[in-house]
Amino acid sequence: MLGITASIIEIEVDLKKGLPMQLIVGLPDTAVKEAKERVSAAIRNSGYQFPLGSLIINLAPADLRKAGSIFDLAIAVGVLLASNQIRRKRETEHFIFVGELSLDGTLRPVRGVLSIAEKAREEGIETMVLPVQNYREASLAPGLSLCPVERLCEAVESLCTEKGVNPPRSVSTNQNGTKGSEEGNNTDFSDVRGQNYAIRAASVAAAGGHNMLFIGSPGSGKTMIATRIPSILPPMSEKESLETTKIYSAAGLLHAQEGLISRRPFRMPHHTASDVSIVGGGRNTLPGEITLAHNGILFMDEFTEFKNNIIQALRQPLENGYVTVARADCRFVYPARFMLVASMNPCPCGYLLDPGCECRCSRKHINRYFMKISGPILDRIDIQVVVKPLKPYDVIEGRPAESSESIRHRVLAAQHIQRERFSKYGITNNASMTITLIKQHCSLSRTARNLLYDAAEKFRLTARSYHKILRVSRTLADLDAREGISDDDLLEALSYREVERILYGERIHEEELL
């Protein structure tokens, strides 16, 4: 596996008379070198003889670093072929062998099988021999004959018969699995009391795929609203489901017998997470949280508590939809087109915007706290909402908010309009509009343009913020199924830049904030 893509490795086995010796070459890591012991035990415990003599195993291409236990099955078959213990009736050039061996000869599942199956099909390989547990995942790549096996002897049998072996009865042949990466939950926006303004903003973000920031006092409902956004998101397309499934397969998070992931990912990393766990990389180069959130939501609660370098690392994926992980001997590009939902307190003590509690923070501490969120990051967040604290009456006697089903109906209608509009451009939502598309689909009246010019000057809006306001305005019009953007749409979009008004309106005067 190279990131989430696969590279075909050819196993070459040379057996000669001499002192017993086994050597694996081709830049193997520790797990590959240990394959000698696993393969030797698996061959003996499967009823075959491990050959004596000088045994050299080459993994080609030799300049590509090999990692993991995925080569065990192919090495074992190569050793049996080199020692003439297999009377094959089919050419090995048409086969690809994938799987980790146990000491008793049974096969264990491996990660990345879906990407490997697609690569094998592209290379013209006809048959893939793989562990039973990976069968359903590999079946998502059509056009490749699959031979799921449970033991090494069954893999050998696939070469000894002209038609191969039949899948075990326990293997499901359904290629259209729709189980998600996580089980569904029962969260609904009707659980929320009050906060209709914040819920409205969340529905706008979901409809257009916009990044979002909640800022408010502790206990105001920021996390409660954010965790319910998945309940109103539109379903993934077949292409998006396949992309997400490949990512989870490469990360080893696709469970055995699990098919195509249909539920949009919702990732919620803790603020103590390391750089590698968020961005990706590490010794074995696995995708990070921002890639696991591809086509879904990355929720970063307590945003200012994350390390500064992690927050700054979000710049590239938020702008381009991918992240580049560069190392001394390799370079990987992971997809990372996600919807960022973040939440934070307005000050270190959390009560700057709460009229019922006195803020204990000095002006210096407040300014330093806001400095954790740099201008370039704030610039990339389309919707910024202040969540006001609730009164006890609203919590106990307040009316429930609108249900997720009702909100989702409007979101789906708006998403359908966007998919029809951008069907020729390869994008699916307003948040992905280019400057050219903004000029085509975000025309404003003279009054709205003058209003936007005044706001841009007063709140020091950058060109990126200016375009994001237009994108949000377009989404608001789509939610009402209107062709043009009205003045009210622009005003509402401007109201979703509250954090910028706090920072630049009057340089944080508490009287105005309250």
Q: What is the pTM of this model?
A: 0.88
Average pLDDT over residues 180-208: 81
Q: What is the pLDDT of residue 506?
A: 42
Give the pLDDT band of residue 178 (cuts 50, 70, 90): very low
Give the pLDDT band of residue 171 (cuts 50, 70, 90): low
Average pLDDT over residues 32-39: 94
Phi-psi region at 147: left, alpha or beta (left = phi > 0; alpha = psi -120 to 50): beta
Q: With CA atoms as reference, report the closest residue to 292 among 264, 332, 257, 260.
A: 264
Helix/strand/coil for 439: helix
Q: 10-160 and 189-508: same fold?
A: no
User: What distance in Å separates the CA atoms of residue 493 and residue 497, rounded to the nearest whole number?
Assistant: 7
Question: Is 39's pLDDT higher than 70?
Answer: yes
CATH fold group of domain 10-160: Ribosomal Protein S5; domain 2 (3.30.230)
Q: With CA atoms as reference, report the closest residue to 474 among 423, 424, 440.
A: 440
User: What distance in Å separates the CA atoms of residue 274 and residue 285, rounded to the nearest whole number?
Assistant: 14
Q: What is the pLDDT of residue 315?
A: 92
Question: Is 511's pLDDT higher than 60?
Answer: no
The larger pLDDT score, comparing residue 254 to residue 201, is at: 201
Question: 205-219, 341-355, 468-482 — which is least confidently predicted?
Answer: 341-355
Give the Å distances, CA to CA, from 46 to 79, 93, 324, 505.
Answer: 13, 24, 44, 75
Average pLDDT over residues 117-134: 93
Q: What is the pLDDT of residue 169?
A: 47
Question: Is 514's pLDDT higher than 60?
Answer: no
User: What distance in Å separates the CA atoms of residue 345 and residue 387, rounded to the nearest whole number?
Assistant: 10
Helix/strand/coil for 433: coil
The larger pLDDT score, comparing residue 474 to residue 158, is at: 474
Question: 154-168, 316-330, 435-449, 468-482 — which is least confidently predicted?
Answer: 154-168
Average pLDDT over residues 61-88: 92
Give the pLDDT band of residue 185 (cuts 50, 70, 90): low
* Ordered alpha helix ranges (H), 362-444: 363-370, 375-379, 392-397, 404-421, 435-441
**Per-residue burial over 106-138, b = 16 or more CB atoms within 10 Å of its CB, e = otherwise:** bbbbbbbbbbbbbbbbeeebbbbbbbbbbbbbb
Q: What are residue 146's DSSP bridge partners?
A: 128
Give the Cβ contact number of residue 363 at 10 Å. Answer: 10
Give the Å distances, CA to CA, from 7 to 4, 117, 119, 126, 247.
Answer: 10, 11, 7, 16, 16
- Tens of pLDDT, residues 17-28: 988 899 999 999
User: What order of strands is seen across the sheet that includes strand 127-131?
Assistant: 95-97, 127-131, 145-149
Helix/strand/coil for 154: helix
Q: What is the pLDDT of residue 363?
A: 84
Domain ranges (residues) in the chain: 10-160, 189-508
* 420 neighbors 428 (Cβ within 8 angstroms): no
Average pLDDT over residues 280-297: 90
Crossing angle of helices 463-479 and 196-208, in 10° steps, is: 100
Q: What is the pLDDT of residue 204?
A: 97
* 500 neighbors 459 (Cβ within 8 angstroms): yes
The mean pLDDT of the chain is: 87
Q: What is the pLDDT of residue 343?
A: 95
Architecture of domain 189-508: 3-Layer(aba) Sandwich (3.40)
- Tens of pLDDT, residues 347-385: 899 888 888 888 898 888 888 888 888 888 988 999 999
From start to end of 236-319, where are the E strands? 266-267, 280-281, 286-287, 297-300
- Tens of pLDDT, residues 138-153: 999 888 999 999 999 9
Q: Is the dihedral of CA 400, 406, 410, 416 positive or negative?
A: positive
Question: Is 109's pLDDT higher than 90?
Answer: yes
Average pLDDT over residues 393-417: 88
* 407 neighbors 194 (Cβ within 8 angstroms): no
Give the Å distances, CA to CA, from 281 to 3, 38, 324.
Answer: 9, 27, 10
Phi-psi region at 508: left, alpha or beta (left = phi > 0; alpha = psi -120 to 50): left
Q: What is the pLDDT of residue 181?
A: 38
The residue behind tokens 């020692």 is 83
Average pLDDT over residues 30-35: 92
Question: Is 492's pLDDT higher than 70?
Answer: yes
Give the pLDDT band of residue 507 (cuts 50, 70, 90): very low
- Tens of pLDDT, residues 245-265: 999 999 989 876 667 898 999
Residue % of the chain over a pLDDT of 90: 62
- Tens of pLDDT, residues 422-450: 999 989 999 999 999 999 999 998 999 99
Question: Is 184's pLDDT higher than 70?
Answer: no
Find how far residue 188's CA is from the centre of its chain. 23
Q: What is the pLDDT of residue 89?
A: 65
- Tens of pLDDT, residues 292-340: 999 999 999 999 999 999 999 999 999 999 998 887 777 888 999 999 9
Give the Cβ contact number of residue 427 at 10 Å. Answer: 19
Give the pLDDT band of residue 503 (cuts 50, 70, 90): low
Q: What is the DSSP letter of 366?
A: H
